Chains A and B, each alone.
Chain A
């Protein structure tokens, strides 16, 4: 086999340059600024600033509220990732079996994909309206005095439900195409070996879906951590109050609502480090167990 290559070093550099520039401008440059301003306390208008060393970081560690938000972020991400993957997988497996009207089902299931997170949040507000929301009434049937924006757990539940609902279609599309790419011969061979459909699913289908599932796992964790911002913002209706929030939202609240640039920068640096650790962990530990065909 002949190895493809470039004769001239400048051509590949030139081809890479646009991408590298985008990363530099939109990631390294602001990240550097964030790192720098995390060591200062700065007047919002930019007149004065004091170097405070690691104070912005140490004050985070001692802050109970920050710990509470960090804990909520973990719980929220686990719930959103688990439920949006599990429900989407179930729907994909069922949709895969449907023979008549399959396209209609699929289109209907994918529809939500087109909705932007803030719009999903506003739909959530309608569904969870304190007096007229159908889902509010549903929870009240079970004796839970469900009030969005009043009760911490109620607001958290609403956030999880809307975030899961919004993410299911993406997972569904990937799972379905993953399922459809499993060769018919493999499935038929499995049918002979194992009569139980559940057994076949866990022993044959699921391992073959693993690369898709791993990819989706990363996508979903990132989604729960960062892309749910719009949903959380909408469901809070502009008032943090005693509502739950994620770490990313806290960065925004402190920086853009409270104008505490130093504190907000320190938080975003912490978040950057967390994402780095998470990525390393995912690729080192999880990817080893997955076989790509």
Chain B
């Protein structure tokens, strides 16, 4: 009897003891596969090791689209993770659903962390913000399209990386073609040749202040500048100066890695991966070219990649843990580690300074290109864009661009189709938001 009591007391003590020292566990759903996923796991491990109150578990949920869909389904079932990574095209969906997430700005200031939006580098501040400029999602893997080039190929052709598309068209591409290279490929037509085409040339992408100020938005994609661009691109393709290997990202990157394509437009976040691959040639990167005929002063580009959203419906303790994790994540050391490993830009000025001081850009000048481009002159239309059902709008663009490049349709018809179908989707999205 006494023994039994003793046991019970012991058990109670043991139980309370574990409870007192229990870590608050939070989960983080992300879409970072391969080398990026390993870096994500490393960051989570470092956070867990840095203190003993909180524990974060990162879970890979597939592609960006799959992660968003999984997160939505989980939210509807009440099983959402604490932190969810949502990509640029899904921003309108997740930010539109007020009540699904806790604005990161509120989360941080409610949990005693200082928050000043000006600590973040200019290009990343407002993309995931609401129309009043309040930051809703924490920019995480922030990238922007830049121009990678094969140094050996350009040397062989006797050219330098082009600053403008005019230069590419008249000088660079013909020389590269004569040297036996396909001059150019790119990995994401909607992102590089549409969204960032608009920001690079400071052209409005949608009404309502690029969609930030309301849902009755119309897309402004059917304009002369971009139509001229696509006309030029399909001419380059016919002349063997540009090649399109389908909608898949990797299919267009591979020929560059194999040395067949001399210039490749990809993500600043591709840098870490390219470096690890030990390519048989030297490569570097410069900023995205622009059309001198459209602007003589190119402006900054949008951030791509994704942001982290704190999902609502969690206990205060867990929210506190999420806030702590965000604080850890934005610390200069963490940002610098992430920047070095992957090539994604550091999101704070402080982290950028650390990278500069450490001589990272003396060793890898290409690693700085994304940041300088994101910090270039701002314009009226360079903050970002906010459009609903944007995943589908991108799919429409991909479809029509593919049809232009395979000769199934012409530029004029394609842009009319994109405009009409995108506006129909935007009108539908507006109805889901009431």
Contacts and interface: CB of A to CB of B under 8 A. Distances in A.
B409 to A, nearest CB: 10
A239 interface: yes
A43 B395 contact: no
Contact of A151 (B248, B406, B434): B406
Contact of A44 (B93, B99, B406): B93
B206 to A, nearest CB: 18
Interface string A107-148: 000000000000000000000001000000000000000011
Contacts of B63: 238
B247 interface: yes
Interface stretch (A12-20, A187-195, A255-263, A284-292): A255-263
B408 interface: yes
B408 A152 contact: yes
Given A151-B406, A242-B402, A259-B68, A43 B432 contact: yes
Contacts of A177: none
A48 B399 CA distance: 30
Interface stretch (B69-77, B141-149, B157-165, B358-366): B69-77
Given A149-B245, A241-B246, A259 B93 contact: yes
A149 B65 CA distance: 19
5 contacts: A48-B433, A50-B431, A150-B246, A241-B399, A257-B69
Given A45-B75, A240-B398, A241-B399, A130 B251 contact: yes
Nearest to A52: B431
Given A59-B424, A238-B63, A239-B398, A47 B98 contact: yes
Contacts of B408: 152, 242
Contacts of B245: 130, 147, 149-150
Contacts of A63: 421
B248 A149 contact: yes
Contacts of B424: 59
Contacts of B274: none
B10 to A, nearest CB: 47
Given A59-B424, A238-B65, A242-B399, 4 more contacts: A47-B97, A150-B402, A241-B399, A242-B401
Nearest to B62: A238
A65 B421 CA distance: 10
Interface in B38-96: 63, 65, 68-69, 72, 75-76, 93-94, 96
A149 B245 CA distance: 7
Nearest to A240: B395
A253 interface: yes
Contacts of B398: 239-242
A43 B395 CA distance: 20
Interface in A223-269: 237-243, 253-254, 256-260, 262-263
Contact of B432 (A48, A148, A151, A238): A48
A171 interface: no
B225 to A, nearest CB: 23
Contact of A257 (B76, B248, B391, B403): B391
A92 B434 CA distance: 60
Interface residues of A, number: 37
Interface in B404-434: 405-406, 408, 421, 424-425, 428, 431-434
B168 interface: no
B244 interface: yes
Contacts, number: 117
Interface residues of B, number: 41
Interface of B: 63, 65, 68-69, 72, 75-76, 93-94, 96-100, 244-248, 251, 389, 391-392, 395, 398-403, 405-406, 408, 421, 424-425, 428, 431-434
B237 to A, nearest CB: 11
B114 to A, nearest CB: 30
A42 interface: yes
A47 B99 contact: yes
Contact of A43 (B68, B97, B391): B97
A193 B96 CA distance: 77
A95 interface: no
A5 interface: no
A52 B425 CA distance: 14
A35 B93 CA distance: 24
B395 A258 contact: yes
B248 A238 contact: yes
B428 A260 contact: yes
B406 A152 contact: yes
Contacts of B400: 242
Nearest to A148: B246
B432 A257 contact: no
A262 B75 CA distance: 18
A89 B65 CA distance: 42
Contacts of B247: 149, 239-243
A157 interface: no
A279 interface: no
A237 B389 CA distance: 21
A43 B72 CA distance: 10
B100 A45 contact: yes
B259 to A, nearest CB: 13
Contacts of B395: 240-241, 253, 257-258
A47 B434 CA distance: 9
